A and B are shown apart, each in its own frame.
Chain A
Amino acid sequence: MGKNRKGQDPARAARPAAAATTPEPSESWVRAKGPALRFVLISAGFMLLFYGVFYTSPEDSPAIDGIIRRYLNAYAVAARAVLALLGFDVQVKDSTLFVGKRAVDVVRGCDAMEPIALYVAAVLAIQVPWRAKLVGLVGGVSVLVLVNLVRIVALAIVTVKFHEHFETAHVTVGQTMYVVCTLALWFAWVAWATRERRRARVAAG
């Protein structure tokens, strides 16, 4: 293919100067964002699937609702065990923790399913070997479930000891810290999953 002195394709060089040097803005943006767009589309697709299943109303999907209720109950039972170890007198009914004179209801949303789903989507959307993805999924989801258990236990303690700060601890601090943990865990997994590539790059200079 013939190229002019500046290495441009002659057909492009024949266009007016501005058009020759500046690609179509949309084309340029899509090209520049190609891999990010692929990552976002895969993640968003997974999240849409998750939303469609998980956020169908309980009346429309009693089976899913039943599974979620058992999952919430498991959180409450695990939190009771941890709180008992810390010396609290705790009872559990369904997914409600009764700590002293206070009660903490572990409802849908307290299950952290949404950040966990986002983490899973982000792990699946990165191009690394499936073994690394499997490690990220099993290890990461386990850590996130444990962190959520710690969050629920901490909120139960806050409701007993510092009841007036419960809303701040629940909505502002707890949710933010959980999302920050999710992001940090994903970055840590990406750094681990791509460590060989980074080493190869460093070795190649």
Chain B
Amino acid sequence: MSRPARRIAGFVLRFALLYGILVLAWPLARPLYRPFYCFLGNVLFQGGEGSATFRSLDTDAALDVEVMLHKRSPPPATGTATNNSKGVGYLPIVTIVALVLATPIPWKRRRRALWQGLALVTLFVAVRIGIPIVRDFSKPDALQVHHPGALGVWALGVAERALLAAPASFFVVPILVWALVAFRRQDWELLERRQPTETA
């Protein structure tokens, strides 16, 4: 097996192993992650004309977070929704952690990439949390707060199907974030450097 093939195989095996361990560790991680998920949702979406309040549910079921939606402007209205903190938040986080830790770079760079990656993927998680809230506050019913035009409705639908509902939606953005945070200019230059032109 050539050196690049060994490194690719090593990375893939390490990633699969780390990802598997972290996914299986969900019952242990849930008491820590779920409150953070609610905290993130409350910090970002509580308050304003359309407010969302996140609360952990005491359950082992997939839908483990309750979201109370309040429309404050008259006539006030209230609605509830449920969230899957593992699917929406934990899996993208686990993906970036496994990708960064599996990458064969020095540990100092891994640590830096991990913090940067976690910050960026948390932003992505915030977007995933926000999409259904904006959707619920945009539907033409008693809770309606936002009035997006036709383009806004289309963009919201595409965003929901692509970033939230699609089966691999929690992989794509973390992979792009990983490409950004884990590699330096020199790594890419080695990869993309033009071959020296031969002269006669």
* B192 touching A128, Cβ below 8 Å: yes
Q: Is B176 an interface residue (CB 8 A)?
A: yes
A32 to B109, CA, bound (A): 13
Size of the chain A interface, CB-CB below 8 angstroms:
49
Known: A171-B167, A176-B16, A197-B193; 6 extra A-B contacts, CB below 8 A, are A34-B188, A35-B189, A54-B162, A55-B158, A112-B168, A187-B8
* A200 touching B196, Cβ below 8 Å: yes
Q: Show the binding face of B for A, using Cβ within 8 Å.
A: 2, 4-5, 8-9, 11-12, 15-16, 19-20, 23, 154, 157-159, 161-162, 166-169, 171-172, 175-176, 179-180, 183-185, 188-196
* A37 touching B154, Cβ below 8 Å: no
Give chain A's interface secondary structure class.
Answer: helix
Chain A residues within an 8 Å CB radius of B175: 118, 179, 183
Query: Given that A36-B179, A37-B180, A180-B12 are known contacts, is A114 also in contact with B185, CB under 8 Å in the complex?
Result: no
* A200 touching B195, Cβ below 8 Å: yes
Q: Is A88 an interface residue (CB 8 A)?
A: no
Chain A residues within an 8 Å CB radius of B16: 176-177, 180
* B15 touching A126, Cβ below 8 Å: no
Query: Given that A55-B158, A109-B167 are known contacts, is A33 also in contact with B180, CB under 8 Å in the complex?
Result: yes
A177 to B20, CA, bound (A): 10
* A36 touching B180, Cβ below 8 Å: yes
Query: Given that A43-B176, A180-B15, A188-B5 are known contacts, is A36 also in contact with B188, CB under 8 Å in the complex?
Result: yes
Query: Given that A39-B179, A40-B179, A190-B191 are known contacts, is A176 also in contact with B5, CB under 8 Å in the complex?
Result: no
Chain A residues within an 8 Å CB radius of B161: 51, 55, 57
> Shortest CB–CB separation between residue A94 and chain B, in angstroms?
20
B183 closest partner in A (C-beta): A36
Chain B residues within an 8 Å CB radius of A102: none
* A126 touching B192, Cβ below 8 Å: yes
* A56 touching B4, Cβ below 8 Å: no
A51 to B160, CA, bound (A): 10
Task: Specify which of B11, B176, B184 lies most central, judged by the most chain A CB atoms within 10 Å of its CB.
Answer: B176
> Shortest CB–CB separation between residue A17 and chain B, in angstroms?
24
* B176 touching A40, Cβ below 8 Å: yes
> Shortest CB–CB separation between residue B79 and chain A, in angstroms?
23
A32 to B20, CA, bound (A): 32
Chain A residues within an 8 Å CB radius of B12: 180, 183-184, 187
A126 to B154, CA, bound (A): 31
* A118 touching B172, Cβ below 8 Å: yes
A181 closest partner in B (C-beta): B12
Chain A residues within an 8 Å CB radius of B189: 35
* A33 touching B4, Cβ below 8 Å: no
Q: Is A44 an interface residue (CB 8 A)?
A: yes
- Between-chain CB contacts (< 8 Å), 28 pairs: A32-B185, A34-B188, A35-B192, A40-B176, A40-B179, A40-B180, A47-B172, A51-B159, A51-B161, A55-B158, A55-B161, A56-B157, A60-B154, A114-B166, A114-B167, A114-B168, A175-B168, A176-B20, A178-B168, A179-B171, A183-B12, A183-B175, A188-B8, A191-B4, A191-B5, A196-B195, A197-B194, A201-B190
* A172 touching B23, Cβ below 8 Å: yes
Chain B residues within an 8 Å CB radius of A40: 176, 179-180
5 A-B pairs with least C-beta separation = A35-B188, A51-B162, A191-B4, A55-B161, A109-B167
